[in-house]
Amino acid sequence: MILLAITPGTGFDAGRWKSVLRSGVDAFLIREKELPTRQLLAAARWCQDTAPEVALWVAGRLDVAWAAGCGLHAPEAYPDLETGQVPLSRPLHAESQWADRSAVAQLLVSPVFSSPGKGAPWGPGRLRRFLDSLPPAGPRLLALGGVEPANAASISHPRLGGFAAIRPFWDGAPERVVSAFRQAGTQPSPGL
């Protein structure tokens, strides 16, 4: 099970970022829209030096992802890219997007639960039906949006690769959150 921590958009904070990077997460998505290019690239390289074992993604900046040699999370309105430039992650807000996005490395299915500023949530039932309909191979699928250790077990599924989150990793003790997510991810989902 993959755990992806997403930065909270409050700027680079070496102490806080190091705590999350070294907490046991598998991947880290820098989502800092206000950082200028050089500072964003410096932050990406700092992450790679601090936790080289953690897969790194940068949101919305192909130039930075390419220069840092990491993955790109391309938001909803991002133009299509040729495959192979960098590992590519995309959001998945509706089942109808699957056909156009199933060739990327990673999809963030969102929002699974109610999340501030996001649309109507998928909910466990809809997510489960969607995952049941997919082929066994394809991009890594991570659940995002209101996902926390307390509700993660309700969406566990063999086709779901893990969980992505912002608040749980930044609002508490990251190591405890990682442990709780891992424990929840081993619990069978109701209805399976």
Could you state, in order of their start, the residue ranges of all structural domains in the chain? 2-185
Burial (0-12, 13-18, 19+ Cβ within 10 Å), 98: middle
For 14-53, letters b (16+ CB in 10 Å) and e give eebbeebbebbbebbbbbbeebeeeebbebbbebbeebee
pTM recorded for the entire structure: 0.95
User: Angle 73-78-82 (CA atoms, 0-180°, nearest 5)?
Assistant: 80
Model pLDDT, residue 117: 83
Model pLDDT, residue 81: 84
| Amino acid in the structure at residue 68 | A
Burial (0-12, 13-18, 19+ Cβ within 10 Å), 163: buried
28 phi and psi angles, rounded to 5 deg: -140, 125
Integer distance in angstroms from the first to the last C-alpha of the chain? 17
Q: Which two tokens stand for residue 103?
A: 């060739």
**pLDDT string in tens for the chain (192-residue length):** 999 999 999 999 999 999 999 999 999 999 999 999 999 999 999 999 999 999 999 999 999 999 999 999 999 888 888 878 899 999 999 999 999 999 999 999 999 999 888 889 999 999 999 999 999 999 999 999 999 999 999 999 999 999 999 999 999 899 999 999 999 977 655 554
Helix axes 37-50, 14-21, angle to 10 degrees: 40
**DSSP assignment, residue 150?**
H
Burial (0-12, 13-18, 19+ Cβ within 10 Å), 114: exposed
Query: CATH fold of 2-185, please?
Result: TIM Barrel (3.20.20)
